[in-house]
């Protein structure tokens, strides 16, 4: 069986809370530069953020990101975790993700599309058509 997507669910800690929140990392080969992280709310809805896969890769080893998504291995007290910070005009949240889970997810995504080969999997014509139909 061949798949063009990777999904991984895990529980994360929100804003240093002791109650875990269900999260899901997703990667699709047809969007080779991006990963999506989603968090399930108390009302059962999912809140999603999409950002560069390269940001997640870089954030495993050092602080990465300057905008509304930042990944910081140096903010967690435990080296087995890294902190994902998300900021918008509506607020700020930080989540602790298990490093090993993120590595497993990234390994699976690079099996679909190796790092550095994203351009070969990117459908520029499809993107232009999608933008043109708006």
What is the domain-level CATH number for residue 75? 2.30.31.20
Whether the pLDDT of residue 113 is over 60: the answer is yes
Residue 19 within any structural domain of the chain: yes
Give the pLDDT confidence of 23-41 residue by residue, as tens digits. 899 999 989 999 999 988 8
Please answer whether residues 23 and 37 qualify as being in contact, where contact means their C-beta atoms are separated by less than 8 angstroms.
yes
Please answer whether residues 65 and 108 qualify as being in contact, where contact means their C-beta atoms are separated by less than 8 angstroms.
no
Residue 62 within any structural domain of the chain: yes
Give the pLDDT confidence of 54-110 residue by residue, as tens digits. 999 999 999 999 889 999 988 877 889 999 999 988 888 888 889 999 999 999 999
Q: How far is CA 119 from the centre of its chain?
A: 19
Give whole-number Cα distances, 57 to 11, 98, 102, in Å.
20, 14, 9
Residue 84 within any structural domain of the chain: yes
Q: Would you call 15 exposed, middle or buried from its count of C-beta atoms within 10 A (0-12, 13-18, 19+)?
A: exposed
The residue ranking higher by pLDDT, 31 or 16, is 31
How many domains, the chain?
Answer: 1
Residue 32 within any structural domain of the chain: yes
3-state DSSP assignment of residue 128: helix
Residue 130 within any structural domain of the chain: no
Look up the domain containing 98 and give its range: 3-118
| pLDDT for the residue 108 | 93
Whether the model clears a pTM of 0.85, i.e. scores above it, the answer is: no
């Amino acid at each position: 069986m061949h798949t063009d997507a990777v999904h991984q669910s895990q529980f994360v800690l929100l804003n240093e809370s002791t109650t875990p929140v269900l999260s899901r990392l997703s990667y699709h080969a047809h969007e080779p530069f991006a990963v999506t992280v989603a968090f399930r709310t108390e009302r059962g809805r999912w809140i999603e953020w999409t950002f560069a896969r390269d940001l997640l890769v870089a954030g495993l080893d050092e602080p990465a990101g300057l905008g509304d998504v930042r990944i910081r291995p140096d903010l967690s007290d435990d080296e087995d975790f890294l902190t994902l910070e998300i900021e918008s005009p509506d607020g700020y949240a930080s989540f602790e993700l298990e490093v090993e889970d993120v590595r497993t997810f990234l390994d699976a995504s690079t099996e679909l599309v190796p790092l550095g080969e994203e351009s070969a999997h990117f459908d520029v014509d499809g993107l232009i058509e999608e933008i043109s139909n708006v």
